[in-house]
Structure 1
């Protein structure tokens, strides 16, 4: 059984864990470096990216996660998790993890009161999924080998860079597991 870790410092941790278990994988709470041992993939949930970064530093998780990223561990960032993965963040001198070849703009869909839900078409899967946007970022540009999987109002909101998957929205806040299943398939691809 695949073990998928969920960074449990802030955000919709329980919702991610419930979805992981619903697709037949084991969900692992990640709060310290030892929790990373033996996982097959890692989800970085939403929340507030600056706060999560401070907690990554406080709990000495930044470097172990960067090391696993460089070793090829599949990682999936939702909302703030996308910001953590991004190689560049508009208005910031340096990125957080900095492992995904994308440039991200924070809060590009407005404030908390501007949150919304919509249907998105995932081009590669030829499927429409529900998407919940809460103070969401978007991807301004992608590197050469990054695959754009979905856009909303001409903004990139879902992309894949090798073993990294980043989305602007919160798939864990819906009952649809399409995007999580896509990530599980990525884990299978990278474990071969």
Structure 2
């Protein structure tokens, strides 16, 4: 059985939990989700989802609780959406705590402020997908070993490096389990 942790601090935590459980069921995988807020919470998790919110606040929480060091040391798979993508990057246009697990530079609020949020049909990993962008960042630079999973208007909006997946938009706000299934497969491949 696998356990997917969902950071329970900000963002669409419940929505991530619902779509992850739906994906597990569709894939017929014995798994569950668990809300994570402390170091003790994550110990039995095989992967972690970090959702949207304010990335500086989330980053400070990760550092304060010891989760940041734990995530870096253990290498458990992480799906970061919106603010989670920012946290996974090595650099951003703001001075803030980062996990630095994806060799990328991210522009926070790259598509504009709240009122400039939008939805669009995109290609994700060569599949049709409905992207929901809310104060979305984009990736301005990547290293050669980072795989691009999606672009919008020539801007990189989804990447994968090793067991880390960063998404600029909000897959938890759709009914489409494509992205969560990709993450679950990554988690499964890392479970020994």
Residue in 2 aligned with 1:13? 13
CA offsets per residue over residues 93-134 of structure 1, 9 Å max, x none? x651111111111000001111111111123xx311111100
Q: List aligned pairs for 1:1-192, cutoff 5 A.
A: 1-24=1-24, 25-69=31-75, 73-92=76-95, 95-123=97-125, 126-191=126-191
Rounded Cα–Cα distance in structure 2 between residues aligned with 1:33 and 1:56: 9
Q: Does the 8 Å contact 2:56/2:97 carry over to 1?
A: no
On the 8 A contact 1:89/1:95 being kept in 2, the answer is: no
Cα-Cα RMSD: 1.4
Structure 1 runs, 4 residues or longer, greater than 4 Å off: none
**8 Å CA contact 1:7, 1:29 repeated in 2:** yes
Unpaired runs of 5+ residues, structure 1, are none
- How many angstroms does 1:60 deviate by? 3.2
Deviations 1:46-95 (A, max 9, x none): 101011122223333222222223xxx11110000001110111243x65
Higher relative contact order (CA 8 A, sep 6+): 2
The answer as to whether partners of 2:55 and 2:84 remain within 8 angstroms in 1 is: yes
Equivalenced residues, count: 186
TM-score when normalising by structure 2: 0.92
Q: Is the 8 A contact 1:86 1:104 kept in 2?
A: yes
C-alpha contact 1:45 1:79 (8 A) present in aligned 2: yes
TM-score, length basis structure 1 = 0.92
